[in-house]
Amino acid sequence: MKIKLPPFVKVLLKLAFTLTALIYVFSKIELKQLMETIAQSNLLYLMGALILFVLSKMVSSLRFNRYLGTIEICLSEKANMKLYLLGMYYNLFLPGGIGGDGYKIYLLNKRYDVATRKIFWAVMMDRIIGVLALFCMAVVLFCFVPGMEKFAWFAWILIPLAVLFTFLLSKRFFPYLLSVFRITNLQSLVVQLFQLLSALLILLSLKVQGNLESYLFIFLVSSIVAVLPLTIGGLGSREFTFMLGAQWLGLDLNLSIALSFIFYLITAFTSIWGIIYSIGGVKLDE
């Protein structure tokens, strides 16, 4: 029998997971030292990291609009960008029963005569393609992590298998989305490349000297984990993943958590502007 939890219970569970993960992570580090590390970061590099993150979200918005086009929802890029920013705001700050993706589906279904199922899967495939790019880039970086070279031959095989699986999944269940499969995959790679470069600039701002590939590998893994709807806006799950990764690869724990925390702040700063469209609304026909 399928158990359906009320929205408020889901919110409480996410809050519990978030707080539990954060409390555990911060119990393993020196909070004062972490704050000092962040305070001494290079602001110029952080500004560059912010710009690259914003660029990644702009490309991600273009990718989302391509999926909408396959189901005959024609949004101007201006309206689409506003809708995407609104979704970011809801995903990060109001992770209730609806969330950002659910609210986008609701607005689009209300405005356009398109089956809810089609809108839902267009939104979900946009997410899946994003995770696919994350996975492929994580595999590439894994092969350059010190000590992991012996697994490289096996890791490389995972990339074509993952792409093939996603293609067959789309072909079997969502053939109407296949027309944009190549271009959306390319856009996803650009999105994740921008975010990876953003993380690299954060590391440089923290004056990290070595093992950059290891930090970036854990960053990509934590980004995949953060997609899972376990915590509020990925907060907690990303830090917990960084903690485990730092212990596994022998990285500086404070620097790892600082990278995670600063990236979250950049995400939050970018997403908070969606409140403008939460209050004023989004005109989908502009």
| Phi, psi for 174 (deg, rounded to 5) | -135, 60
Residue 3 domain-assigned (yes or no): no
Residue 5 domain-assigned (yes or no): no
pLDDT tier for residue 206 given thresholds of 50, 70 and 90:
very high
**pLDDT given at position 286:** 65
Listing DSSP states for 138-188 in one string gives HHHHHTTSTT-GGGHHHHHHHHHHHHHHHHHHHHHH-GGGGGGHHHHHHHH
Residue 179 domain-assigned (yes or no): yes
Most confident of 55-59, 114-118, 258-262: 55-59
Q: Which residue range forms the structural domain that includes residue 113?
A: 56-280
- Residues 146-183: tens digit of each pLDDT: 877 777 777 888 999 999 999 998 888 888 888 899 99
User: Does the pLDDT at position 97 exceed 50?
Assistant: no
For the ranges 16-20, 126-130, 141-145, which has the lowest average pLDDT? 16-20
- When the pLDDT of each residue in the chain is averaged and rounded to a whole number, the result is 84
Cα separation, 271 vs 268, whole angstroms: 5
pTM: 0.87
pLDDT tier for residue 50 given thresholds of 50, 70 and 90:
very high
Residue 87 domain-assigned (yes or no): yes
Q: How many structural domains does the chain have? A: 1
Cα separation, 240 vs 262, whole angstroms: 15
- Residues 190-202: tens digit of each pLDDT: 999 999 999 999 9
Residue 8 domain-assigned (yes or no): no
Cα separation, 184 vs 132, whole angstroms: 11
User: Does the pLDDT at position 253 exceed 80?
Assistant: yes
The larger pLDDT score, comparing residue 275 to residue 11, is at: 275
Alpha-carbon distances, residue 75 vs 61, 64, 68, 105, 186 (angstroms)? 11, 10, 8, 14, 21
**pLDDT given at position 4:** 59
**pLDDT given at position 99:** 67
Residue 118 domain-assigned (yes or no): yes
Residue 286 domain-assigned (yes or no): no
**pLDDT given at position 17:** 64
Residue 181 domain-assigned (yes or no): yes
- Residues 208-235: tens digit of each pLDDT: 887 899 999 999 998 888 887 666 666 6
